[in-house]
Structure formats: structure tokens, C-alpha cells
Amino acid sequence: MPDIDWPLCPYTNKIIFPKKAKSNEGLFEFIVNDDDYRQGVRVEACVSGSGSDECDIPGSLALGYRSRCVQKHIQRTLVVLNLTSAGKEGAVGFVTKPFDFPSCCSCVISMRVDVTSTSPGQYNTSSPTTTDNN
């Protein structure tokens, strides 16, 4: 019998053709995307608004653990208008710049650590106490 796979976090998947975006330098750039030159980027974004950011894990996690869906990003280099050369007698130049795009929705499991409690499933991270026998 074949395995059945299902995503742990809801996501959408599409190809976008951005015309303007914020580069990794923090500036909005005009991205070259027209009929003659197209730059498509596949993006996968977490679906939010479902009321919870927990992963859809069958059953339950062990005591002291929690899950959450986290958006991951990837860097893509795109051709943009070089606005610094555009002012020189109407010349328009092109350069490449890096941009971050959503790449996947990942399920992350973390352990809750209570720094004061020694209850089952919790860890006491305070320094050990010592007694003086003198």
C-alpha cells in the first residue's frame, strides 16, 4: 500500500511576475517584466487566518512541545532598472539585485522550557544549589 502524504501547514503556491518590489538593500526597485522580457518567481506562502498557526499534526505532541507554521524565504536575483544611470541624458541601464521571496511554509516543533518549574515535561535551568556540610 502506498504512503499517504499531506502537508502539515496550509499554503498557496503560484508564479508571480513582479514589477516593483523592495530589494534586500531596503529600496523599492522597478523590476523588468514586460512582453519581451519576463521574470517569473515561484512563491509558496503560508495561509494565515485559519485561527491558529499550529501545524496540522495527526494526534497530539508530547507534553511540553508545541508546533507552529513558519514562513521561509529564498533569495532570487532579478534584473531591475538602474535608476542611477537613468538621469544621464535619458540613458536607461539595467542591473541585477537580490530580493527575498516566500519559498515554503515549514512546520517547526519546539520544546517549552520553564526556567523555574521542575514539573514533569519541564526543565529547571537554574543553577544547582549546594549545601555546606561544615
Residue 114: predicted pLDDT? 67
Q: For residue 72, what is the enclosing H or E element?
A: strand 65-82
The reply to whether the predicted model has a pTM over 0.85 is: no
pLDDT, tens digit (0-9, with 9 covering 90-100), for 82-124: 876 555 565 578 999 999 999 999 999 999 776 565 555 555 4
Between 61 and 49, residue with greater pLDDT: 61
**For range 28-36, the mean pLDDT:** 93
pLDDT of amino acid 53: 87
State the average pLDDT for the chain: 82
Instruction: Tell me the mean pLDDT in the region 43-53.
Output: 81
Domain ranges for the chain, please list them: 11-58+68-107
Q: Which DSSP state fits 130?
A: -
Cα separation, 110 vs 116, in Å, equals 18
CATH assignment of 11-58+68-107, given 3.30.460.80, 1.10.540.10, 2.10.90.10, 3.30.565.10?
Answer: 2.10.90.10
Cα 75 to chain centroid distance, Å, stands at 11
Q: What pLDDT is stored for residue 2 in this prediction?
A: 82
